Structure 1
Amino acid sequence: MADDDAAITFADLALREELLTALNHLGYEEPTPIQREAIPPLIEGRDLLGQAATGTGKTAAFALPVLQRLETNRSDTNPAALVLVPTRELAMQVSEAMHKYGRGLRTRVLPVYGGQPIRMQLRALERGVDVVVATPGRAIDHLNRGTLDLKSVETVVLDEADEMLDMGFAEDLEALLDAAPESRQTVLFSATMPPRLNGMVSRHLREPERIEIGRADVEAEAKRVRQVAYIVPRANKPAALGRLLDVEQPTAALVFCRTRDEVDTLTETLNGRGYRAEALHGGMSQQQRDRVMSRLRSGNADLLLATDVAARGLDIDLLTHVVNYDVPSSPETYVHRIGRVGRAGREGTAITLAQPREHRMLKTVERVTKQKIAVEKIPTVADLRARRLELTRAGLEESLLDDGDLDRFRVVVETLAESYDLMDVAAAAIKLAHEASGGPGDDEEEIPDIPAPRGDRPERGAKRPDRGGKRDSSGMTRIFIGAGRVAGIRPKDLVGAITNEAGLTGRDIGGIEIADRFSLVEVPEGSVDGVITALRGTTIKGKKATIRRERFASPRR
């Protein structure tokens, strides 16, 4: 069955040519599990009850069938479909997605939510729309005004139904469902299925198709996510978060906090550390929330700190890291969060900061997800400095390989070389470049090291980079491996390749540093040539990689 699923394409789902063209243009290659299971019965007109977390592709799962079933060149000015969502941000997101999918069909999609001038919505409704994507409160407002007529509605979709109930929209939802024709198709999606949804399902759905993205699917998503936890005293959490972000260097990160105050405080702290951080929570005005989302979409922010409710349904492009500032209250919440970086085949990193007393909660999460959460040590100041020096080195190497215009700088080098040693000139230039990029100050303090609970300590050899000189590295040489985090390389992959192919043991291997596109591994100087030869004759994670001595460091003596 798994092989059959893997072979299914959007074309196999009997979608209209206009939709297939739009999906191809957007770069969609194959449907996700929820899309494979939901699209066929929805196209047939059946009611559906679906459980799937944020980030599994629910929007396309209901949007494509809605668009598929629309009449071509539809002349009715009243909507044929009503999509109800809990927040303004999600309304905008779903509306934008449906507009892109339905571009070739000239579908008229209108987002309806509070905070936007109602006159704009009134004019659009009067001109005529095919699909209304609305928050329940504003939809009820239009229904009571007589400006939203649901008599032509063929499909009603409730997206994030559990969240809408939590926000107190139960009565509004009942009223909207009662106002739509009984013959309509009803679709309900929810990340969780609490008992209070049962009454709504029994009253408004007719023999629904039931779809649940189960544990096997969750495990498949989780396998693409590097999951790691750090045991940190609460007083040291802000410093630990800043340190980890400095070392990880995420392209874009989403940090979950429990309270609004925590969101505001951490945002200020991280902005002070040089990050472009934004806060998002329920205590902000709609105008403030709009500004935050605008900065995120324009790329003017790379770090979002939010509460669960505020972040529900958000899809951030190029999201590489999710951070749990506290251990989530339930395993389900943890799974929903980390799924944001494991979606659409992407890999990512999930970081959890746990207080010592929260270790038992981590074990519960592991049991539910059937995935190991590695407990590691907070990077030291020395680790941070090494990481930043690594970035400086990588930037210089990239500049050299880029064959850029260096001629106008040679006269400076030649002049200085007449009075100083050429190596000293190069070192001084690198020092200036490194200091210009910033670095930990002399007053940066170490974060207390709390040992991992027994049974969670990493195996010998499969470890983080050398911890500030704690390991004796005399007689060791670093080798360069042209594959890193982007290729899915982990310390255990490098240790396994070296021990299997070169005959060393885990105890022989020193510090391991993994950057985005390359890795550095310490091995005994007497074994370095044999290790290089052995690795050049094999693959790492199924791929050949460049293997050589590290050019920028001599053997450590």
Structure 2
Amino acid sequence: MMRVDLSDAGGFAGLELRPELAGALSGLGYEEPTPIQLAAIPPLVAGRDLLGQAATGTGKTAAFALPVLQRMAADRRDAAPCALVLTPTRELAEQVSQAFHRYGRELGVRVLPVYGGQPMGRQLAALRRGVDVVVATPGRALDHIGRGTLRLDDLDTVVLDEADEMLDMGFAEDIEAILEQTPADRQTVLFSATMPARLGRIARRHLRDPVRIEIGPAVTERGGPLVRQSAYIVDRAHKATVLGRVLDVEAPAAAIVFCRTRQEVDELTETLTGRGYRAEALHGGMDQDHRSRVMGRLRSAAVELVVATDVAARGLDIEQLTHVVNYNVPAAPEAYVHRIGRVGRAGREGVAITLAEPREHRMLKAIERLTKQRITVDRVPTVAELRTRRLDLTRAALREMLLTDDVERFRPVVETLSDEFDIVDVALAAVKLAHEATSGTGDEADDETIPAVADAPPARADKVAKRRAARPGATTRIYVGVGRGAGVRPQDLVGAIAGESRLTGRDVGAIELADRFSLVEVPESAADDVIAALRRTTIKGRKATVRRERYPAKR
């Protein structure tokens, strides 16, 4: 792999780009090229093939876009494209197209994103008028090639962006078919965050004596990673509670929570919404327009959490994103690399948090070996720490209001109350109102004790015995016929069960709130007692239908 000396790089001026590109970069506020740009641009401008391994967010789009534009003929007016960029998702195709437009505006570059879900007529019309760069998903590119509407005879460069993602999504045969249709003397550029063996085989077959570059994750000027990585070792029954507690402590401006399945996405979104978070689901079962609306709401801060599967979130670049949360440890370490690549981009620091069950500890070690970075295993925040954090947030919000907002119109209220009460008591009451408004559920929320679990697997000799001792008994879910619409909160259900049955709050498992009902996980051995107890009492002043769940979720 090529090693890059950054000590005497000379900034973008040292890359000797054409004036139109240098001007565009200056106008965009680009001052210094990233390591991948320094390493890749000179050989690509010289016409070399390139095999680059670079983490998401290291600046690789400019690393291949600027050389394509640099090599493009001035005043080019050919109808067929001179460059084809293949990307795994529509979202990434749009982002790459926008980057080409920004960099090549002064050159008059004609760029066309081509992907499914977009009207075919619009794409056909643009291709007939002529384009310089096509940025496409493999399936739609192959469709146009088959129709004869995308001609590849004049291609100078083919770029495979996030190539490992395209293979994971099943595009290997499409990529091979497309490359077979391109000129033999083309320049081929392959960028990937990871380099699995099958990708290496494609590179050996289609790249000619490539320059090889490996760039690690982005780092700060102090040498530390831009993404702070941590994990919490959590039993499955307490995951939702721990997630809420961690989110409260971290207070992300915008976050993506990754789940394994569509069902888990839907269930967790409903649970988080029931606990007062502004959360939306995103998975492959939704059409593209719906997914675009969800991402638009995240970008506009209308929602703060998107709960998603890997497929739905591939290729996303959300400037406001501050946190990525793995609700489960990814099955493949490479998936972890792509997930955390959503944050820590373009010099912005980010946070990656993983909730790992005790049995998944070894998977964290595999991820550390791949990324060559340590994942800190933290202790789950206590109730006291959670309350302190909430008070800190309230204090900060009040301070900002006092410094920036016009609060003078509320003076008559304070002066009137101060005739009857001490002014400090008035302030305390006002702070309490503000605190409860910003904290949502108040200090009583999530106050259950979460038992500590081992942060490493037990020794082999006594592993089986300890697993059996730690394994919770069989559980079942109870249907309770009141939900969010009646103002029910998780602590209301826990309180009713602990107050009316022989169970304690620690015995109650996951709680899922819907508008008209709730599902509560309890030990199988106590289920009948809990049902009988809840039928005798009221929840939020209402009698509720209580029974076992009729259609239990598949485990």
Q: TM-score, normalised by structure 1?
A: 0.76
What secondary structure does 2:6 align onto?
helix
Q: What is the CA distance between 1:365 and its match in structure 2?
A: 3.3
State the superposition RMSD in angstroms: 2.7
Q: What is the CA distance between 1:254 and its match in structure 2?
A: 1.8
Q: 2:507 corresponds to which residue?
A: none
Q: 2:146 corresponds to which residue?
A: 144
Q: 2:408 corresponds to which residue?
A: 407
Q: What is the CA distance between 1:110 and its match in structure 2?
A: 0.4
2:264 & 2:7 partners in 1: Cα distance? 43
User: Do residues 58 (structure 1) and 64 (structure 2) align?
Assistant: no
Unaligned runs of 5+ in 2: 458-555
1:389 & 1:41 partners in 2: Cα distance? 55
Aligned residue type for 2:342: R
1:284 counterpart (251, 270, 286): 286
CA 1:372–1:206: 2 relative to 1, 3 Å: closer
Aligned residue type for 1:426: A
Alignment of 1:335-484 (within 5 A): 335-402=337-404, 404-441=405-442, 442=444, 444-451=446-453, 453=455
2:186 counterpart (158, 161, 184): 184
1:317 & 1:86 partners in 2: Cα distance? 20
Q: 1:319 corresponds to which residue?
A: 321
1:371 & 1:243 partners in 2: Cα distance? 25
Unaligned runs of 5+ in 1: 456-557
Report Cα offsets for 1:426-452 as digits up to 9, x if no partner: 112212222222433546442413155
Q: For the Cα contact (< 8 Å) 1:222–1:338, is it kept in 2?
A: no
Report Cα offsets for 1:37-84 as digits up to 9, x if no partner: 111111111111111222222211111111111112111111111111
Q: For the Cα contact (< 8 Å) 1:54–1:313, is it kept in 2?
A: no
Q: For the Cα contact (< 8 Å) 2:218–2:226, is it kept in 1?
A: no
Alignment of 1:66-465 (within 5 A): 66-214=68-216, 223-402=225-404, 404-441=405-442, 442=444, 444-451=446-453, 453=455
Aligned residue type for 2:309: T
1:370 & 1:165 partners in 2: Cα distance? 24
Q: For the Cα contact (< 8 Å) 2:219–2:226, is it kept in 1?
A: no
2:219 & 2:399 partners in 1: Cα distance? 41
* Amino-acid identity (%): 68
CA 1:374–1:270: 2 relative to 1, 3 Å: same
- Deviating more after overlay: 111-120 vs 247-256: 247-256
Q: For the Cα contact (< 8 Å) 2:217–2:225, is it kept in 1?
A: no
Q: For the Cα contact (< 8 Å) 2:58–2:217, is it kept in 1?
A: no
Q: What is the CA distance between 1:213 and its match in structure 2?
A: 1.9
Aligned residue type for 1:136: P
What secondary structure does 1:322 align onto?
strand
- Deviating more after overlay: 286-295 vs 50-59: 286-295
2:371 & 2:339 partners in 1: Cα distance? 13
Aligned residue type for 1:389: L
Q: What is the CA distance between 1:93 and its match in structure 2?
A: 1.5
CA 1:373–1:183: 2 relative to 1, 3 Å: closer
Q: For the Cα contact (< 8 Å) 1:320–1:347, is it kept in 2?
A: yes
Q: What is the CA distance between 1:181 and its match in structure 2?
A: 1.6
1:261 & 1:219 partners in 2: Cα distance? 42
1:165 & 1:366 partners in 2: Cα distance? 23
Q: What is the CA distance between 1:138 and its match in structure 2?
A: 1.0
Q: What is the CA distance between 1:215 and its match in structure 2?
A: 8.1
1:422 & 1:79 partners in 2: Cα distance? 73
Aligned residue type for 2:264: E
Q: For the Cα contact (< 8 Å) 1:35–1:60, is it kept in 2?
A: yes
2:98 & 2:281 partners in 1: Cα distance? 23
CA 1:86–1:338: 2 relative to 1, 3 Å: closer
Q: For the Cα contact (< 8 Å) 1:32–1:344, is it kept in 2?
A: no
2:205 & 2:333 partners in 1: Cα distance? 30
Aligned residue type for 2:85: V
CA 1:452–1:228: 2 relative to 1, 3 Å: farther
Q: What is the CA distance between 1:227 and its match in structure 2?
A: 2.2
Alignment of 1:490-529 (within 5 A): none
2:394 & 2:328 partners in 1: Cα distance? 32
What secondary structure does 1:75 align onto?
coil
Aligned residue type for 1:320: T
Aligned residue type for 2:276: G
User: Do residues 16 (structure 1) and 18 (structure 2) align?
Assistant: yes
Aligned residue type for 2:105: R
Q: What is the CA distance between 1:369 and its match in structure 2?
A: 4.1
Q: For the Cα contact (< 8 Å) 1:377–1:449, is it kept in 2?
A: no
Q: What is the CA distance between 1:355 and its match in structure 2?
A: 0.8
What secondary structure does 2:26 align onto?
helix
- Deviating more after overlay: 211-220 vs 411-420: 211-220
1:30 & 1:365 partners in 2: Cα distance? 31
- Deviating more after overlay: 199-208 vs 184-193: 199-208
Q: 1:515 corresponds to which residue?
A: none
1:260 & 1:6 partners in 2: Cα distance? 50
Corresponding residue pairs, total: 455
Report Cα offsets for 1:181-208 as digits up to 9, x if no partner: 2221111112222222234223321111
Report Cα offsets for 1:73-112 as digits up to 9, x if no partner: 1111111111111111211111112111111211111001
CA 1:111–1:11: 2 relative to 1, 3 Å: same
Aligned residue type for 2:423: L
What secondary structure does 2:93 align onto?
helix
1:296 & 1:262 partners in 2: Cα distance? 20
1:72 & 1:106 partners in 2: Cα distance? 9
1:22 & 1:263 partners in 2: Cα distance? 41
Report Cα offsets for 1:365-396 as digits up to 9, x if no partner: 34444444332222233333322222221122
Report Cα offsets for 1:192-243 as digits up to 9, x if no partner: 2222223422332111111122589799986233222111111111121122
1:94 & 1:38 partners in 2: Cα distance? 17
Q: What is the CA distance between 1:343 and its match in structure 2?
A: 2.7
Q: For the Cα contact (< 8 Å) 1:150–1:181, is it kept in 2?
A: yes
Q: For the Cα contact (< 8 Å) 2:218–2:225, is it kept in 1?
A: no
Q: What is the CA distance between 1:245 and its match in structure 2?
A: 0.9
